[in-house]
């Protein structure tokens, strides 16, 4: 069975992908990536650099993939560039990456023009809400906000300051997905990922805004299965 390695977006933890295990229906072993600063690692300092985060996560990813040895990488927004860095790193390990699926993200060489880094708390949250198209209700509870805000700020900083570790593209096929009403990432930006691979490239839109995948998880998994079948 192929492992589906799922990399979280800014502020998210691995539990976002737990429902995908049932939706996967035995098609993949769903492996969520767990970063410092959230859920079981809540007391650890979150990363502020994508390349550093990927380098420190790769051993855990290899261990979690385990005996499967084959993997598809999926990442949304911040998770897309983290997954891209992991694809480079896993290329030198015993895990064979069959496909990279990037979602809600411009190509790795394009930094976001709209930024939240450096804004004071309320302005920061308003900007992030504008990006995502919704506000997580946990941020309205003072105790939860105290826990979540530093992680969200660190995640946004490392995404907005991301510079790829190499200009060399990966060799694995890339599929880029975008919500059709995404105001943060335009269609041409989402198609920039074609330059990030020497393999095949495909592009797909689903109805919705930047966080379309909340409502379209099953469709995303069906697309990954179809793309994988076409590549065999």
pTM assigned to the model: 0.91
Please tell me the least confidently modeled range out of 160-164, 173-177, 200-204.
Answer: 160-164
Residue 79 sits in a domain of what CATH number? 3.40.50.1820
The residue ranking higher by pLDDT, 137 or 134, is 137
- The domain in which residue 203 lies consists of 2-231
pLDDT at residue 93, rounded to an integer: 87
Q: What's the rounded mean pLDDT across residues 197-217?
A: 95
Residue 31: beta bridge partners?
5
Angle of the 121-132 helix axis to the 142-160 helix axis, nearest 10 = 70
> Which of 85-94, 111-120, 176-185 has the weakest average pLDDT?
111-120
Q: What is the pLDDT of residues 68-83, one digit of tens each?
A: 788 999 999 999 999 9
How far apart (Å, rounded) are the C-alpha atoms in residues 85 and 75?
A: 11
Contact between 139 and 148 under an 8 Å Cβ cutoff? The reply is yes
Number of domains composing the chain: 1
* Burial of residue 101 (number of CB atoms within 10 Å: 0-12, 13-18, 19+): buried
Where is pLDDT greater, at 221 or 94? 221
CA 149 vs CA 45, 84, 174, 201: distances in Å: 13, 25, 32, 36
Beta-carbon contacts of 98 under 8 Å, excluding residues fewer than 6 positions away, are 2, 70, 71, 72, 172, 173, 228, 231
């Amino acid at each position: 069975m192929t492992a589906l390695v799922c990399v979280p977006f800014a502020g998210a933890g691995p539990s976002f992908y737990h429902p995908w295990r049932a939706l996967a229906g035995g098609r993949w072993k769903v492996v969520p990536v767990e970063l410092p600063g959230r859920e079981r690692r809540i007391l650890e300092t979150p990363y502020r650099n994508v390349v550093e985060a990927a380098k420190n996560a790769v051993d855990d990813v290899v261990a979690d993939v385990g005996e499967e040895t084959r993997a598809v990488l999926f990442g949304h927004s911040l998770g897309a560039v983290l997954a891209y860095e992991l694809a480079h790193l896993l290329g030198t390990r015993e895990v064979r990456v069959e496909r990279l699926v990037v979602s809600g993200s411009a190509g790795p060489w394009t930094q976001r023009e709209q930024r939240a880094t450096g804004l004071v708390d309320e302005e920061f949250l308003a900007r992030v809400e504008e990006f995502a198209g919704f506000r997580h209700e946990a941020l309205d509870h003072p105790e939860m906000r105290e826990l979540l805000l530093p992680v969200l700020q660190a995640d946004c900083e490392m995404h907005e300051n991301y510079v790829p570790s190499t200009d060399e593209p990966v060799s694995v096929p890339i599929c880029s997905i975008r919500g059709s009403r995404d105001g943060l990432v335009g269609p041409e930006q989402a198609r920039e990922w074609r330059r990030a691979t020497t393999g095949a490239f495909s592009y797909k839109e689903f109805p919705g805004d930047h966080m379309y995948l909340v409502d379209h998880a099953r469709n995303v998994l069906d697309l990954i299965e179809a793309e994988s079948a076409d590549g065999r």
